[in-house]
Structure 1
Amino acid sequence: MISRHHANRQAHNWLVYDIGDRFLEQFVPLYKGVLYDLGAGEAPYREFFTRHSDKYVTVDWSGSQHPIQADIVADLNEPLPVASGVADTVVSLSVLEHLREPGRMLAEAHRILRPGGAIVLQVPWQWWVHEAPHDFYRYTPYALEHLLRTAGFVDVTVHPQAGFFTTMTLKANYFSCRLVRGPAPVRLLLRAVFSVFWFAGQKLAPLLDRLDDDWALEACGYYVTARRN
């Protein structure tokens, strides 16, 4: 399980991390050489990316709300202190929505990639406001393709993470977490009750998603792959 070390993986949301694990495995052929992880935070995927690249380099800013494990401390809204054409792969997971200047980061990712290098992004779409006040944008597939192509990327492909039922299940689970309040015994009881529904919903939702013939319309988020010419 790739995301087993992720601090945010919990009983109410493990499904979205399982989905992410499958996408990260699917994109293994894109990881090679020197891999830069932009907005790596605590680097929960270090073990995975290190296994599939020759060198893993993490980048994040000093103002992060998480403890960071950054080889390079830099603001992704600004030019990176990295030479051009040094990376074979760039990954950036759940980061673009937190940037005031997402186009700047994508342009910098394009600059530091070698010709033929790949970028792998993940962004939320129907998702709650998180890490406030540093949560600025939600992107449709059309916006993502526009941003990547404007930055100079080609072969842009947008992959919806899941369909309507998974999206609504996760939204309901996150909402119910906000209801777990009160004295400790009450919180413990509520969490025990909700856990039954969290587990059942996350097991059932992927099966019901088979009824949704266009996941892109109601996705909880998207993965994006593209390449530098």
Structure 2
Amino acid sequence: MIQALWNKKTFQRIFLNEIVNTLEIHNRVIVDIGGGDKTSSYHMLLSQKQNQFISVDMTKNCDYKIDLETEALPFETNSVEVVFCFNVLEHIFNYQHLLDEIYRILKKDAQLYIYVPFLFHKHAHPNDYFRFSDTALVKLLENRNFDIDDISINYGIGKNIFQNLFWIIHTKKLFFVGNALTIILGVTLHFFDVMLNFFNVTHTINQNYILGVYVKARKGEM
């Protein structure tokens, strides 16, 4: 964790990387919605398992540039085995269209991996529209005939405090002082969450401070 904090990774990114590192995905072609130029940490982690990424995004530096709000994904129906959609849905106003398109291109029982932020500052790329809770995301997917295989919630009062302080620190460009301060705050507030979780009542409250939601789903029957 300390190395990740020094490298300016937030608890959002640390959480996502830890999940990706456990995924048993090998020798697959992964359609990465919002994958940009494929330089995120998870690209490196899964490329080591002989996976190939195809990035579909609204930016120039990707394999297929399309309007995710309105255009069809550039793949045949029932042709894709794995889709990633990390930190994307909050930026898509017409997210129903995107979810329908993901369902269309996936093969039967093929896998969709989603991560969305929840308690997170406004971040426009180019727009920031929504926040999805775990119950909302599950409902949206089940309504589109996805079966939920796994759900994991990134939570903590301390992590939320850190998340906001992180952006203040690095917006000020404090460089090495900022990195050291990030580690001190990150470790302290992580320990704060660990201590809170020893107490049942506080643990329940702590769980309500959700940073983000991860869901693994499978394409089910229509």
Query: TM (normalized to structure 2)?
Result: 0.81
What is the aligned partner in structure 1 of residue 141 from structure 2?
A: 148
Q: Which runs of 5+ in 2 are unaligned?
A: 198-202
- 1:24 matched to 2:16? The reply is no
Relative to structure 1, the CA distance from residue 39 to residue 31 in structure 2 (aligned partners, 3 Å threshold; closer, same or farther) is: farther
Relative to structure 1, the CA distance from residue 194 to residue 223 in structure 2 (aligned partners, 3 Å threshold; closer, same or farther) is: same
Contact 2:116–2:212 (Cα < 8 Å) also in 1: yes
Contact 1:91–1:121 (Cα < 8 Å) also in 2: yes
What is the aligned partner in structure 1 of residue 218 from structure 2?
A: 227
**What CA distance in whole angstroms lies between the structure 1 residues aligned with 2:179 and 2:31?**
37
Relative to structure 1, the CA distance from residue 105 to residue 53 in structure 2 (aligned partners, 3 Å threshold; closer, same or farther) is: farther
**What CA distance in whole angstroms lies between the structure 2 residues aligned with 1:132 and 1:74?**
14
Moved more, 79-88 or 205-214: 205-214
Relative to structure 1, the CA distance from residue 222 to residue 53 in structure 2 (aligned partners, 3 Å threshold; closer, same or farther) is: farther
Q: CA deviation at 1:164?
A: 1.6
Deviation per CA, 1:61-94: give whole Å up to 9, x if none.
2xx3xx52x2222221122121111111100111
Relative to structure 1, the CA distance from residue 55 to residue 11 in structure 2 (aligned partners, 3 Å threshold; closer, same or farther) is: closer
Q: CA deviation at 1:36?
A: 0.7
Q: Quick one: percent identity of the two aligned structures?
A: 21
Deviation per CA, 1:6-43: give whole Å up to 9, x if none.
xxx875544432222101112x1256633110111121
Query: TM (normalized to structure 1)?
Result: 0.79
Relative to structure 1, the CA distance from residue 139 to residue 173 in structure 2 (aligned partners, 3 Å threshold; closer, same or farther) is: same
Relative to structure 1, the CA distance from residue 226 to residue 42 in structure 2 (aligned partners, 3 Å threshold; closer, same or farther) is: same
- 1:205 matched to 2:189? The reply is yes
Measured on the aligned residues, the alpha-carbon RMSD in Å equals 2.6
Instruction: Give the 3-state SS of the residue equivalent to 1:220 in structure 2.
Output: strand
2:45 aligned to 44, 48, 54, which one? 48
Relative to structure 1, the CA distance from residue 11 to residue 152 in structure 2 (aligned partners, 3 Å threshold; closer, same or farther) is: same
Contact 1:107–1:152 (Cα < 8 Å) also in 2: no
Q: Which runs of 5+ in 1 are unaligned?
A: 181-186
- 1:36 matched to 2:31? The reply is yes
**What CA distance in whole angstroms lies between the structure 2 residues aligned with 1:152 and 1:125?**
24
Q: Size of the alignment, in residue pairs? A: 208
Relative to structure 1, the CA distance from residue 80 to residue 192 in structure 2 (aligned partners, 3 Å threshold; closer, same or farther) is: closer
Moved more, 166-175 or 207-216: 207-216
Deviation per CA, 1:136-193: give whole Å up to 9, x if none.
1111111111111122211254311232211211112223445x2xxxxxx6xx5555
Q: CA deviation at 1:103?
A: 1.5
- 1:138 matched to 2:138? The reply is no
**What CA distance in whole angstroms lies between the structure 2 residues aligned with 1:121 and 1:31?**
18
